[in-house]
Structure 1
């Protein structure tokens, strides 16, 4: 049996803006994983099994008389897409396809099955791609795994930046500049997969970062899962209607993230905290202008408590629930902060940053 794993992730800053071509965000990979195991079938019939996802519901809506099924929050859609893309790559290399059993095990959900917001769809896509590449003995490196997983993930989600895929592939702290997804969609129609994997992707840049030694990352979960794809859809409506205001947000976010990257390069917790607070204010203003609830009352409470202890806190990801993050001095009274969270029914997630053993600490430019 072959087993591969991919870590979950959290956004530190740059949410929403990063869905635009070339715009940056900072993410971190965490030591909770999705595992994918593959073994050849013994009876000629393959199966896909996951204990966590067996009761997964499918959402749909009406478009005129048509029933439109939304597969974006269904993990099996990402698994099937990862299989399709990776086996397409195997065929271009003249590898014979096989029948197999595929087992998925996820640590990225709560005991009750609720999503923590740790990027489970990206992690299950990456883990499936990695396991199949090993199963078929395909030549890959991190860049190629990212591109295969990004193609598979984007085929299902249709929006988003694919930064969560990058975090699951490269691990650690990363600065991610999103690539041109429209370009990818167009090239998929005309180019074979090997050619597409070998091309530079417009605007794509992934840089590994080293955090200051005194930076402690503390994560709180609100208990309320949120749908990233649906929240991004709502912000897209605001973008279409208020283009000038949206452009102001984009430009301010880009400058904020660049200053934060400089803070990582300088090893300055204070610089990073300043920009986390500023990024929070940008998201609050975006929420006010768009009417989309990004920072819920519980997330606001999480941030206010963290600020009392000197932490810089904000929502992580699309908001609307899920997690908040705190960048704080490791010498602060973290336990008292967590105790106050607990009193407000905010669950502390005791996670650590996960670094990949095979990732070198240098800038990876895919451009």
Structure 2
């Protein structure tokens, strides 16, 4: 049999512009932007049915198919080295892929691969052996910037594995497969990063009910999950802001979005009056951001970014999550002192902050960068990109 040609796919990282925390609940909107740092996944032929995964971040694994899951060769269980996993939705296929023996840093890649394999199985196609290589530009010597590396690697892996196996999938199908893969690992993830990595550019996004779509795939199969409507899900491209420059600062401290969201859930915040007030205010703020972008209204957009910062600060004061660190506060203050607007991007607690500044005032922009550096914030040379998941 002729070896299949190698396939390369890459996906950009992302930044949240507005809508953090509220977007976790299905149907609540957020604005995100894709940035020109990428995760690249290369899939190449290997004989047999082994799957070898390597990454420039260190983790690597040699796996094989066992009971429809990717399993290390040194797993103590019986080896059933089959290239055709059973159909999802039947009793022989667990909904959640096994992680035992797989390095934690490869969980999203493995889940993405298994999700594509489920689709192949439903189409009656074999799963070939392959090598999968991950190269990430979203880290600094192994420390993540907070640009959505998990989402980008999931999107890139879904696209690369699917293309290598001969599946020509449109963007929404690739996004849906990435959502199913992510929901197996973190059911509370909003998956906004997946949308930004798939479509690129500035986007308005509303999350589907991840539990419902995961249950749909488990009960009726992946093909049906790709075909059926996903209530409350929406995504659309937005024009970039007019007359404003996006600046990004890294706090130097990584943060875990999943941990912060889980911490908020443990505090019984959801369903409270505070939760309802925050969600209503944030939803209104995001919709106003969308209107400002579409109306090419930079002043209105700056007002809403400042408002988004205030709502996050109010939430932080009420529940004590630690969204605002001293460096993120300094980042915001420096931008506002220059007439711009700034806020943490994502869950906060570290990672990145964003600022929108007058694009025609380069001296002000340079002064903001200098103030960031003095406060221990690293200005990142990243820019918005209209490029989504592609070759």
Q: Is the TM value for this pair above 0.5?
A: yes
CA contact (8 A) 1:75 1:121 kept: no
Match of 1:18 among 13, 23, 31: 23
Q: Does 1:349 align with 2:372?
A: no
Aligned residue in 2 for 1:47: 52
Q: Is the 8 A contact 1:34 1:107 kept in 2?
A: yes
**Equivalent of 2:273 in 244, 249, 266:** 244
Gaps in structure 1 of 5+ consecutive residues: 57-68, 360-367
Normalising by structure 1, we get a TM-score of: 0.90
- Tell which structure's C-alpha radius of gyration is larger: 2
How far has the Cα of 1:186 moved from its partner?
2.5
Deviation at 1:161, TM superposition (A): 0.8
**Aligned position for 1:195:** 224
Report the alpha carbon displacement of residue 46 of structure 1 after superposing the two structures with TM: 3.1
Q: How far off is 1:242 after superposition?
A: 6.3
**Contact conserved, 1:147 with 1:197, CA < 8 A, in 2?**
yes
SS of equivalent to 2:163: helix
Q: Is the 8 Å Cα contact of residues 146 and 166 (structure 1) preserved in structure 2?
A: yes
Supply the RMSD in Å over aligned alpha carbons.
Answer: 2.1
Secondary structure of the corresponding residue to residue 318 of structure 1 = coil
The answer as to whether partners of 1:239 and 1:246 remain within 8 angstroms in 2 is no
Q: Is 1:311 equivalent to 2:340 in the alignment?
A: yes
1:75: which partner in 2? 105
User: Following the alignment from structure 1 to structure 2, what is the Cα–Cα distance between the partners of residues 181 and 46?
Assistant: 28
Measured against aligned partners, the alpha-carbon deviations of 1:39-64 in whole angstroms (never above 9, x if no partner) come to: 111476431011214399xxxxxxxx
Which residue is 2:41 aligned to?
Answer: 36
1:101 and 2:106 matched: no
Going from structure 1 to structure 2, the CA distance change for 1:334 and 1:55 (only over 3 Å counts) comes to: farther
CA contact (8 A) 1:75 1:124 kept: no
Say whether 1:298 aligns with 2:327: yes
Deviates most, 337-346 or 78-87: 337-346
1:227-284: per-residue Cα shift (whole Å, max 9, x none)? 1100001111234476111111111111111111100110111111101110111111
Indicate yes or no: 2:15 matched with 1:7: no
Q: CA deviation at 1:194?
A: 0.5
C-alpha deviation, 1:178, in angstroms: 1.1
Deviations 1:301-340 (A, max 9, x none): 0111111111100000000000000011101221121112
Deviates more, 1:242-251 or 1:146-155: 242-251
Q: Would you say the 8 A contact 2:201–2:238 is kept in 1?
A: yes
Compute the TM-score of the two structures, normalised by the length of structure 2.
0.84
Q: Which residue of 1 aligns with 2:115?
A: 85
Q: 2:54 and 2:215 mapped to 1: Cα distance?
A: 33
Aligned equivalents of 2:281, 2:192: Cα separation in 1: 19
**Deviation string for 1:40-90 (max 9, x for gaps)?**
11476431011214399xxxxxxxxxxxx999x943000000000011111
Aligned residue pair count:
345
The 1:321–1:302 alpha-carbon spacing in structure 2 relative to 1, beyond 3 Å, is same
List per-residue Cα deviations over 1:77-116 (Å, max 9, x = no partner).
Answer: 0000000001111122222211111100000001x21110
CA separation of 1:70 and 1:357: change in aligned 2, threshold 3 A: closer
SS for the counterpart of 2:318 is helix
Equivalent in 151, 155, 159 of residue 126 of structure 1:
155
- What's 2:76 paired with? none
SS in structure 1 of the partner of residue 329 of structure 2: helix
- Structure 2 counterpart of 1:336, from 367, 373, 379: 367
Structure 1 residues 171 and 239, CA gap change in structure 2 (3 angstroms): farther
Q: Which structure 2 residue ranges, 5 or more long, are not aligned? A: 1-5, 62-98
